[in-house]
């Protein structure tokens, strides 16, 4: 299969302030090692981290070696499994989180933007026949980021989602609920039994309610903090996921004015949160910055991708949200999708079929 693989290569870091320059070219086919699978990619989604200008690559992914194959969100068919993999077989339709740019992996064979990608088996979920590859591809990085923030012990440390969640009196606040990360956070928290209060622009209120949010507040309202404190009421606030620029200040203010664990997990990575955190600081409120890849190394990754998601997608307890917009077909169209992403999306994920 070696001569059949094709990748969207990022030959070098790129120039400061300019977008990354990609080139489609042949790539080696890498067989799966133990606890890995190879997937024939059928659809990928794009994320802001996929097209960083040169100087940001040095800051966000300083370890990344070039030429690189980037991309995190994959849906496709399993074509080969490594030793020790018993839960997946060739032919299975799956989605998976690709970790090629992760510091521990840093390997072109594991980047999403190619025909054959190597994935870590416990970060892959079978998908039901009713779920298209295009729609399934919206999930991985946003799901992983939300799950890391909600469930890892160094972030909110909440109870994990299950097929039959027990209703809890505690509330989870998702600031930025209509983002891809927020769409997953709302559903994960609901499937763990928590009441969810979320923010978005008003045109997305019904969307957030359809995902399970009990209450929705306009994130731009001048009274949003007070409204949310009132909505949480006396019941404890189990924790807050702060998503989107400017989310940390109101999230911390709300945590300081409510009862509960007073933990805020920011979807900005640790170094951004450390810079922005001090402005938001309030006594007793603990802020942490999420890196959406850390869950692969602890119980949260397999807890979501192996134990929870496959059945939840099959029963309809979990939706692949937000809606996918297919931008084009073929690896060469991914740069167009990244350009379009830089223009902004609302409750939507840009996808390219491969």
Please choose, out of 104-112, 222-230, 277-285, 344-352, the segment that lies near ligand NAP by the rule CB under 6 A: 344-352
299 contact partners, CB below 8 Å, separation of at least 6: none
Nearer CB in complex with ligand NAP: 32/244 = 244
Q: Which residue is nearest to ligand NAP (CB)?
A: 244
Judged by CB under 6 A, the number of residues near ligand NAP is 27
The CB-of-79 to ligand NAP minimum distance in angstroms stands at: 27
Least spacing, CB of residue 34 vs ligand NAP, in Å: 27
Q: Does 247 bind ligand NAP (CB under 6 A)?
A: yes
In the complex, minimum distance from the CB of residue 13 to ligand NAP, in angstroms, rounded to a whole number:
19
Contact letters for ligand NAP, residues 200-239 (x by CB under 6 A): xx--x--------------x--------------------
146-205 binders of ligand NAP (CB under 6 A): 176, 178-181, 200-201, 204
**Where would I find the beta strands (DSSP E) of 162-301?**
171-175, 195-200, 215-218, 237-242, 263-266, 286-289
Beta strands 23-26 and 323-329, pairing class:
unpaired
Q: How far is the CB of 47 from ligand NAP (least distance, A)?
A: 6
CA–CA distance from 120 to each of 50, 97, 206, 267, 301 (Å)?
20, 8, 36, 23, 10
Q: Is the peptide bond before 265 cis (omega within 30 degrees of 0)?
A: no
d(CA 160, CA 86): 24
Site for ligand NAP in 13-52 (CB under 6 A): 47-48
Query: In angstroms, how far is the first alpha carbon of the chain from the final one?
Result: 17
Q: Is 278 exposed, middle or buried (0-12, 13-18, 19+ CB in 10 A)?
A: exposed
Tokens 């059945």 sit on residue: 311
What's the angle, vertex CA 11, arms to CA 7 and CA 12, rounded to 5? 145
For ligand NAP, which residue of 76, 140, 244, 277 counts as binding (CB under 6 A)? 244
Q: Which of 245, 279, 283, 284 binds ligand NAP (CB under 6 A)?
A: 245
Which is closer to ligand NAP, CB of 83 or CB of 201? 201
Give least dist CB 5 to ligand NAP, A.
Answer: 27
Place of tokens 């949200």: 321
For binding to ligand NAP (CB under 6 A), which residues are involved? Answer: 47-48, 141-142, 145, 176, 178-181, 200-201, 204, 219, 243-247, 267, 269, 290-292, 345-347
């Amino acid at each position: 299969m070696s001569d059949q693989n094709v990748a969207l290569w990022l030959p070098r870091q790129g120039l400061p302030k300019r977008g990354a320059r990609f080139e489609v070219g042949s790539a080696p086919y890498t067989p799966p090692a133990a606890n890995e699978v190879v997937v024939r990619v059928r659809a990928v989604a794009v994320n802001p981290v996929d097209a960083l200008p040169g100087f940001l690559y040095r800051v966000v992914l300083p370890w990344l070696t070039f030429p690189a194959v980037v991309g995190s969100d994959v849906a496709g068919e399993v074509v080969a499994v490594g030793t020790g993999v018993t839960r997946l077989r060739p032919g299975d339709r799956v989605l998976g989180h690709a970790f090629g740019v992760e510091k521990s992996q840093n390997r072109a064979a594991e980047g999403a933007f190619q025909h054959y990608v190597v994935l870590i088996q416990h970060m892959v979920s079978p998908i039901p026949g009713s779920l298209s590859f295009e729609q399934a591809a919206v999930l991985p990085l946003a799901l992983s980021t939300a799950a890391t923030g909600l469930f890892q012990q160094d972030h909110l440390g909440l109870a994990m989602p299950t097929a039959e969640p027990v209703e809890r009196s505690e509330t989870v606040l998702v600031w930025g609920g209509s983002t891809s990360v927020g769409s997953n956070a709302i559903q994960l928290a609901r499937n763990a039994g928590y009441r969810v209060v979320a923010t978005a622009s008003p045109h997305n209120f019904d969307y957030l309610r359809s995902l399970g949010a009990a209450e929705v507040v306009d994130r731009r309202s001048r009274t949003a903090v007070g409204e949310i404190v009132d909505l949480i009421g006396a019941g404890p606030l189990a924790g807050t996921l702060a998503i989107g620029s400017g989310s940390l200040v109101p999230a911390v203010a709300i945590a300081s004015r409510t009862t509960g664990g007073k933990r805020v997990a920011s979807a900005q990575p640790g170094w951004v949160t450390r810079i922005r955190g001090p402005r938001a600081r309030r006594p007793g409120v603990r802020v942490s910055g999420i890196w959406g890849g850390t869950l692969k190394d602890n119980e949260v990754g397999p807890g979501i991708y192996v134990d929870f998601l496959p059945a939840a997608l099959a029963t309809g307890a979990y939706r692949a949200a937000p809606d996918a917009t297919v931008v084009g077909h073929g690896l060469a169209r991914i740069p167009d999708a990244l350009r379009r992403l830089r223009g902004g999306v609302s409750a939507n994920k840009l996808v390219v079929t491969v």
